[in-house]
Amino acid sequence: MRGLLTGVAIGLAIIALAVLGGRWWLDQRVTELLARRYDVPLTPLAVPTDSASRAEGERQAWLHGCHGCHDSQLQGKVFLDEPRVMRVVTPNIPEVIASYNDAELARLIRHGVRRNGTGVVAMPVGTFYETSDLDLGRIIAHLRAAPRVTKTLPPTRLYLLAKLAVLRGELLPEAATMDHRAPRLGDRSDTTQAWRGEYLAKSICGECHGPTLHGHLEAPPLARAMGYSAAEFTSLMLDGRSRDGRDLPLMGRTARSRFVRFTKQEIAAIYGYLMVMPTTPQHAAATPVSR
């Protein structure tokens, strides 16, 4: 009997060591994947200093979700706390960007690449990539003007399920999968209402509905807007209500906190584009850049 118990104890010890060894390997591998550096060059960007540009930058920042993710005063918050998955804590923007010059900050926002070359996780970089130099410059002007207030925040944590997602390539920095050389919507010389609608839809709505606007996770494809009249679509965008008057939970919160800052002309441009946009996704090949 004693020999049997000794054998069981040894077996359990071996299993425990194997489990611990596996967790150690997983932690090391995840650390390596998240520490990769991305060789994205810095590009100069003009940042205005006048009050009108800062005011427009604030409107753009709200529309793009900066205040939704980083708190109304941009001082960071616990954005997501899912037991056994991950805790995402958005940083205090005024504190973080104090050490960035404008070109570095533009690269961080558009490409998701920090000063040290590593990529950020859980930031909608793809939609910011599409922004024009003018809009991005105004947003940066607003971020620079935000008061710097110290706020104690817990660190972001990845738990077992999130680490496994990183290992499977499902939770990598967007810098690892996006095409850093793709043509940018905001760079077009087109100033038509059709272009404006596509630009606004893809650079703002694409955060939830996917880069092609054909749906992502729980967000439906925006082709559904074809069933809305212009008046119904305006109500959807400003109040988050469906055609039959239902309050759509996520859209409702987004509309009332962010999209109320759209002008009626901007909503009309988005609606016009959604009426004619391709009905099937057109994917572009990604060009990872790393070193």
Q: Which domains does the chain have, with CATH numbers?
A: 51-176 (1.10.760), 188-276 (1.10.760.10)
Rounded Cα–Cα distance for residues 278 and 267 (Å)? 19
Rounded distance between C-alpha atoms, residue 241 and residue 257, angstroms: 14
CB 45 within 8 A of CB 106: yes
State the chain's maximal CA–CA distance in angstroms. Answer: 85
Tokens of 145: 């003007």
| pLDDT value for 18 | 53
**Per-residue pLDDT, 289:** 56
Q: What is the pLDDT of residue 285?
A: 44
Distance CA 255, CA 224 (A): 17
In this prediction the pTM is: 0.86
Q: What is the DSSP letter of 118?
A: B
Q: Which of 233, 228, 263 minimizes the C-alpha distance to 251? A: 233
Backbone angles phi, psi at 158, to 5 degrees: -105, 125
Half-sphere exposure (Cβ direction) of 207: Cα atoms closer than 13 Å: 20
With CA atoms as reference, report the closest residue to 262 among 208, 201, 209: 201
The whole-number mean pLDDT for each consecutive block of 10 residues of the chain, a chain of 291 residues, reads: 47 48 84 93 95 97 94 93 93 95 97 95 90 96 94 93 90 92 87 88 87 78 81 90 82 90 94 82 51 54
- Per-residue b/e over 259-278, b at no fewer than 16 CB within 10 Å? beebeeebbbbbbbbbeebe
How many Cα atoms are found within 13 Å in the side-chain-facing hemisphere of 108? 17
